[in-house]
Amino acid sequence: MASYKPSPRSKIIRSPQRAHYDKKTLYQVLDAGYLCHATYLFEGAPVIVPTAYVRIDDHIYLHGAANNRLLNSLAAQNQACVAVTHLDGLVLARSAFHHSFNYRSAVIFGTPGVVEAPQEKETILQRFTEQVLPGRWAEVRPPSAKELQATRVVGIKIEEASVKIRSGGPVDDEADYGLPVWAGVLPLQQTVGQPLADKQIRQGIKISDAVTNMVKK
Amino acid sequence: MASYKPSPRSKIIRSPQRAHYDKKTLYQVLDAGYLCHATYLFEGAPVIVPTAYVRIDDHIYLHGAANNRLLNSLAAQNQACVAVTHLDGLVLARSAFHHSFNYRSAVIFGTPGVVEAPQEKETILQRFTEQVLPGRWAEVRPPSAKELQATRVVGIKIEEASVKIRSGGPVDDEADYGLPVWAGVLPLQQTVGQPLADKQIRQGIKISDAVTNMVKK
């Protein structure tokens, strides 16, 4: 299956020309980030929580402490919804009404399940680290058996998904193109600053390759 | 009231030393952004949607088209949950286990209500624009009566809120400080790129002050 079939909950109604349901586009949006928002029901009402994620094949994985309420609530639910959003720019139109954002937004739905096997947990945690900072896993102390046990990993099988992407310049009303107003796009992006060494860094320890490569990007 | 009283749904259990419930800190986190994630129930299950917001006093406002499903669902609910998250850095520890993010995260709960009065709607829309790009409102064509009518504005009175902030360097296990691993923080921030003029920009129109000021920041 190369595309998801939208159901009433995932079908994009507004600006359907910006909707995508294919896995290729979905994976591109998911793989461009590492912070998502997930939701769980607390006494019947939804609560939203930001958390790290990684995609592996057709699963999104979340992790946290063993007593993490989001993870334990998700594990007890039979459906999960996770959103990943990248803000790409401010779209400045000639009218207030047509101001907008450029963005890439993915919303996925699926069945959550706890990952129990320590080896599988470790592989997933490795992917978490490598997704954020490629090469970092090999530089650091890997998790101990106790740390693996203290970590809850929940996988969500993506069963339904929608992506919405807006790019490009403003779309103004025909009559407004004649107005003496500057219009265009202010691009936004997440940038990496200069690395700050830990105060307790041992003398003689050089900055690592993984960090150097990230700063170069 | 200078602080919110945490209830079981908003009380931060994990790392309570990073929790804040005072309005000053909450407003700082909310006012530092303009994209939130909100949630509504669709056939009993939560759906998350990214959307623009603005805070005015003790309300969060969302807006969209009159047929916007999030807004109409919220208006029909008696509780809303909205999350605002800023990612500030990658926290690189000596062990995989202690890797983390620096972030500022706010989660608010409150009662949603539709704003009906056109004048109040216009004032709120002005704040939306000014929050993203100060000075822009005065540069553009203001909304017509028809555009105001086509815009749904929902206000959420903040009745409960929690903020969680992580900053600073990694916290490693005592035994790991001796490892030959570089540790520290990679700061992340959202930066504004060079403005791209609309292809249909009229000859002789200079870039506006609001845009110039935003790029300078």
Global ipTM: 0.96
Distance from CA of A140 to the nearest CA of B (A): 5
Q: Which of B13, B187, B208 sits opposite A193 (nearest CB)?
A: B187
For residues B28 and B84, what is the distance between their CA atoms, to the nearest angstrom? 11
Choose the closest CB to B147 out of A94, A97, A125.
A97
Contact B186 A195 (CB under 8 A): yes
Nearest to A105 among B42, B50, B202 (CB): B50
Which residue of A15, A139, A141, A171 to mutate against B (max B Cβ within 10 Å)?
A141
Q: Is A96's CB within 8 Å of B192's CB? A: no
How far apart (Å, rounded) are the C-alpha atoms in residues B125 and B61?
9
Chain A residues close to B83, C-beta within 8 Å:
37, 48-50
Distance from CA of B162 to the nearest CA of A (A): 11
| pTM: predicted TM-score of the whole model, two decimal places | 0.96
> B163 to chain A: nearest residue by CA?
A49
Buried (b) or exposed (e) across A45-82, using 16+ Cβ within 10 A? bbbbbbbbbbbeebbbbbbbeeebbbbbbbeebebbbb
Flag whether pLDDT at A1 surpasses 70.
no
Asked if A90 is an interface residue toward chain B (Cβ–Cβ < 8 A), one would say yes
User: Is the Cβ pair A107, B49 closer than 8 Å?
Assistant: yes
> Which pLDDT belongs to residue B13?
85
Q: What is the pLDDT of residue A184?
A: 98
How far A47 CA lies from chain B's nearest CA (Å)? Answer: 6
pLDDT value of residue B1: 65
- Is B52 within 8 Å of A185 when comparing Cβ atoms? no
Is the Cβ of A5 closer than 8 Å to some Cβ of chain B?
Answer: no
Mean pLDDT by 10 residues, chain B (217 residues): 88 90 98 96 93 98 94 93 98 98 98 96 97 96 97 97 97 96 97 96 94 88
Q: What pairs with residue B152 in β-bridges? A: B64
Exposure class string for B146-168: b at 16+ Cβ within 10 A, else e:
ebbeebbbbbbebebbbbbbbee
Of the partner residues B140, B185, B188, the one whose CB lies closest to the CB of residue A94: B140
Cα-flanking dihedrals φ and ψ of residue A25, to 5°? -65, -40
A85 touches chain B (CB under 8 A): yes
Domains of chain B: 16-216 (2.30.110.10)
A187 near B CB under 8 A: yes
B188 contact residues in A (CB cutoff 8 A): 190-193
**pLDDT at position A162:** 96
| A79 contact residues in B (CB cutoff 8 A) | 45
Separation between Cα atoms, residue A64 and residue A46, nearest integer Å: 19
Kind plus residue range of the DSSP H or E element containing B69? helix B69-76
Task: Give residue A92's pLDDT band: very low, low, confident or very high (50, 70, 90).
Answer: very high
Interface test with B, best of A70, A126, A186, A192 (most B CBs within 10 A): A186
Residues in B touching A82 (Cβ below 8 Å)? 48
pLDDT of residue A13: 85
Q: Return residues 99-158 of A near B (CB < 8 Å).
A: 99, 101, 103, 105, 107, 125-126, 129, 132-133, 136-137, 139-144, 147, 151
Structure confidence by residue, pLDDT tens digits, A95-121: 999 999 999 999 999 999 999 999 999
> pLDDT tens digit string along A157-189?
999 999 999 999 999 999 999 999 999 999 999
